[in-house]
Amino acid sequence: MMSDAPGGESLLFLTDEQLRQGIEAMFFAYRGFTADPDRILAGMAYGRAHHRAIHFINRAPGTTVNNLLILLGVTKQSLNRVLRTLVEDGLVESKVGKSDKRERHLYLTEAGEALERKLSDAQRARMRAAYRAAGPQAVAGFRQVLEAMMDNDLRRKYQVLKDSGT
């Protein structure tokens, strides 16, 4: 059953089967979305944790390790393993904070920026093709669904990143 709402939006009342199909579509879409970067990273013995770290360091150059911990929602030990590898391999540079010497600020090196471009180009191409195929209304609706699925805390963090425009 559908009811009309302002702006051409409709409320959907979905069956359990339709919800199951949506869940499965999310699983398979995520697999597709991560497939290209996974192939690129596999040859370097890196995984998705490395990709996420590189992505968010690129989004906010100079971010602190503590901020990255909060964004990624991982343990300090797990993040330290990932960062140690990225620093040793010359992809990330860690600089001591100017005002607080305990802080470490993270930056991608030229090699790190090149890898990030390669990873994000692959995902942007896939996303761009999907968005074009779906059309502008579907894109707006998809984003709305994704944001509605986020926990409040994560939605706030996402909103800060989205609003930063970097």
Q: What is the pLDDT of residues 68-77, one digit of tens each?
A: 999 898 999 9
Tell the CATH topology of 14-134: Arc Repressor Mutant, subunit A (1.10.10)
Q: What is the pLDDT of residues 77-125, one digit of tens each?
A: 999 999 999 999 999 999 987 887 788 999 999 999 999 999 999 999 9
pTM of the model: 0.82
Asked if residues 68 and 79 have their Cβ atoms less than 8 Å apart, the reply is: yes
DSSP 7: G
> Which tokens in the block code for residue 131?
């968005």
Specify the pLDDT at position 3: 41
**Is the pLDDT score of 161 beyond 90?**
no
114 contacts: CB under 8 Å, gap ≥ 6: none
Per domain, the residue ranges of the chain are: 14-134
Please state, as a whole number, how many other Cβ atoms lie within 10 Å of the Cβ of residue 85: 17
> Which tokens in the block code for residue 45?
């013995």
